A and B are shown apart, each in its own frame.
Chain A
């Protein structure tokens, strides 16, 4: 065939006008043939695997595109590397010669494949029968990517069921990767078993939405792992009701391994020097302790001991009354203590009795103390008359504080706030 080619080319040298134009034309036809070849070959390959769904098909398409691209590239590159005689003959070819070659070989393999390829996509204007119409796949109006879950809620069973449950999707979609994760979940196989599991351990219906809004990753956890963690908590003599309330209040609790939980329980028991039942009490009241990092807690304990000068048993007593002291920011702790101890002159033993003050804001304590001092009623010593207890000072709402301790009206208090 090559020799006939050369002959044809020689015959048509007179038609030659522009060398380079011919070369480019040739390259493009060359590439086209290559493309057609690879496409058909891949399609036959794909036919070989009968089980191809969803993601796989996307993958294949991508692969195909890549291969085609690769071929194009290689086709374009390969030709300059051809031996010189070949290149000479090609350069001699003209457009007429090419058309003749094409006409001369209508039944070759590549051309037949090209025809098949064309037949796959009928014209858009062609009329189709009803039977075909029923089989036509209508492309879904869902966007392939979106910034919000709103586009998918009506189409996805998982999402719509989660909404009916009361999960705050608008909050979840702001977190990275959570939206994609939720969309990929199957309601029957992924979501239902975990919800049933949570119900089984005693979580209230209203708690489910809260847990899922806070920790959607529980839907990806292994059921066996979840069961193992609940079993661990029960083996540590937490009652089933306590476990349920702990899981509701600290939704991430069940995502942590048994080893990690065990570490934390041991840490609190050892650092605070408490017996196991008291540790259990603290953890049951603030299950967040089992989830968080231990380093800030260590830091807080150090601050209480060294900087604020509380003794070990005093820290124990405070933590037993208000476990939240352990997770309080150390800066806030020192600020409030500084104000209580140095400005309000409250001794250590009174602060230990009312650790609730550390939950309150410094500004609130400050303005109430100044108001009482202005009225001459700032008296925090429990041995004397007209005693103001610290926790009431810190936790009462404004109206109650005014009537109970300051015996003034709320307006007076507001006026006083404006003179600070």
Chain B
């Protein structure tokens, strides 16, 4: 028999995405979501206690002597089932996280609850691309490619123009395109490769080095610039290093100021839940929407 808590839990099981704020470790985000969902699932008004029949054998009174036995059946509330004794029905919930985001980056973080964790695995075997927005700044280089790191070099950036930047990015994209073909494990002179390339599913299956599939400048106001890129099998550190290398390629230096993930497979930033919305009811709504979306 499914209790009300179990029914509520079934409703939040599945996949959804949240917006991870910058400066917070993903594990904290996961834990926070778990506690919020637990709160919502276990928050149930106390029901009447189940009664339990007890039979007592007592020595009967007086006249017939102490050996006479009387049996009395008494219905008592079973305190063992009291919510204060039993505690909440769910003490922990399986909450899994999709492709990670490191502490200083922000953006879409896919979360799987309950049986959603299995589908999380399937999702990442499909090798979807992810979108990122990178804010960079020219003029200095740091040891960990972030602005917060120790500055190791300063340089001028007056000579950089948007054309020069785009030229470098085009070169970078060419190199990555070549890597994509190498790691796709298909003979390039076959019909199969042609058909895959036409449908756009040419790419590595499973593990490969990070590959940028798309790269462009969205704003350029020196020393600030913004890149938008699509990639496969990346880490946030690799993306920051890309900014650093773009800077070096332009005979200057650059560091990454902010890194934001705007899409992870089918999950976009529009449906991502922000910090205030991490409640069981909101999660249930989003999970419902995504289960319809992923089934199609």
Binding site for B on A (CB under 8 A): 130-131, 134, 149-151, 153-154, 159-160, 163, 166-171, 363, 366-367, 398, 414, 417-420
Contact = CB atoms under 8 A, between A and B. Distances in A.
The 7 closest A-B pairs by CB, nearest first: A170-B87, A153-B79, A150-B80, A417-B274, A169-B85, A418-B19, A414-B274
Contacts of B252: none
B5 interface: no
Contact of A154 (B66, B78, B88, B269): B78
Contacts of B295: none
A367 B21 contact: yes
Contact of B22 (A134, A149, A420): A420
A304 B277 CA distance: 35
A397 B271 CA distance: 22
Nearest to A156: B79
A170 B86 contact: yes
Contacts, number: 62
A136 to B, nearest CB: 11
Given A160-B79, A418-B274, A150 B86 contact: yes
Contacts of B76: 154
B274 A363 contact: no
18 contacts: A131-B67, A134-B67, A134-B69, A153-B85, A163-B82, A163-B85, A168-B84, A168-B87, A169-B84, A170-B87, A171-B87, A363-B21, A414-B274, A414-B277, A417-B275, A419-B260, A420-B21, A420-B106
Contacts of B78: 154
Contact of B21 (A131, A163, A168, A417): A417
B266 interface: no
Contacts of B45: none
Contacts of B84: 163, 166-170
A270 B278 CA distance: 45
B121 to A, nearest CB: 27
Interface of B: 19, 21-24, 52, 59, 66-67, 69, 76, 78-80, 82, 84-88, 106, 260, 269, 272, 274-277
Nearest to A150: B80
Contacts of A414: 274, 276-277
A351 to B, nearest CB: 21
Contacts of B274: 414, 417-418
Nearest to A209: B84
A167 B76 CA distance: 20
A216 B287 CA distance: 42
Contacts of A151: 80
Contact of B67 (A130, A167, A169): A130
Given A134-B67, A153-B80, A163-B84, 18 more contacts: A134-B59, A134-B66, A134-B69, A153-B85, A154-B52, A154-B76, A154-B80, A163-B82, A163-B85, A167-B84, A169-B84, A170-B85, A170-B88, A363-B23, A398-B276, A417-B21, A420-B21, A420-B106
A399 to B, nearest CB: 10
Contact of A363 (B19, B24, B67): B24
